[in-house]
Amino acid sequence: MLELHGAIKDGKFHLSKVQYELKMDFLRKNDGKNIVEILKRETKKRSLSQLKAHFGLALQTIVDEFEDRGWDSSFIYNMDKPTGVPVNKAMLQQYFYALYPTTNDKGEFITMSHEDFTTVKEMTLFDAIRNHAASQWSIVINDPDPNWKDK
């Protein structure tokens, strides 16, 4: 397998001299064999610290609002009587992972620490949390980056 990185200019794929030589050598060594060429746009890798910051921002905003309002965990679980248990980030994390499960291509449940957890999955979860907080508890969570889809 050979992975090449180049740029498109004037509708043509340009490689550095070294990359081009590697490609030509690969083709010579595999003369007469079937090969597959896949072209895809290179995107920035997700930053785990960015993903955790977005998630943590949403959870901390909710915790702060619950504390300011004097609400305990009974409001999360729609219980009639107060539990006396304050809401914390770990509790909310488990609550939202259960309420809005995220899966990989194999259908396995994943969290942000999993390698398949992409920026798009994180922003989808962030939007679900934000919408839930607004509709269920009247808590507004601001978008950390309004242009995330353009990146």
pLDDT digits (tens, 9 = 90+) for 20-56: 888 899 899 999 999 888 877 766 655 656 767 778 8
Mean pLDDT of 7-30: 87
Q: What is the pLDDT of residues 51-72, one digit of tens each?
A: 677 788 899 999 999 999 999 9
pLDDT of 17 reads 85
- DSSP conformation letters of 80-134: SS-------HHHHHHHHHHHS-EE-TTS-EE-TTSTT--HHHHHHHHHHHHHHHH
CA–CA gap between residue 112 and residue 86 (Å, rounded)? 24
Neighbouring C-alpha atoms within 13 Å toward the C-beta of 57: 18
Averaged pLDDT score across all residues of the chain = 85
Residue 131 contacts by C-beta under 8 Å, 6 or more apart in sequence?
A: none
pLDDT band at 89 (very low <50, low <70, confident <90, very high): very high
Q: What is the pLDDT of residues 95-151, one digit of tens each?
A: 999 999 988 888 888 888 887 777 778 888 888 999 999 999 999 988 665 565 555
Give the burial class of 92: count Cβ atoms within 10 A of its Cβ; 0-12 exposed, 13-18 middle, 19 or more buried: buried
Q: Is the pTM of the predicted complex or chain greater than 0.75?
A: no
pLDDT of 151 reads 53
Beta bridge partners of 13: 8
CA–CA gap between residue 62 and residue 25 (Å, rounded)? 57
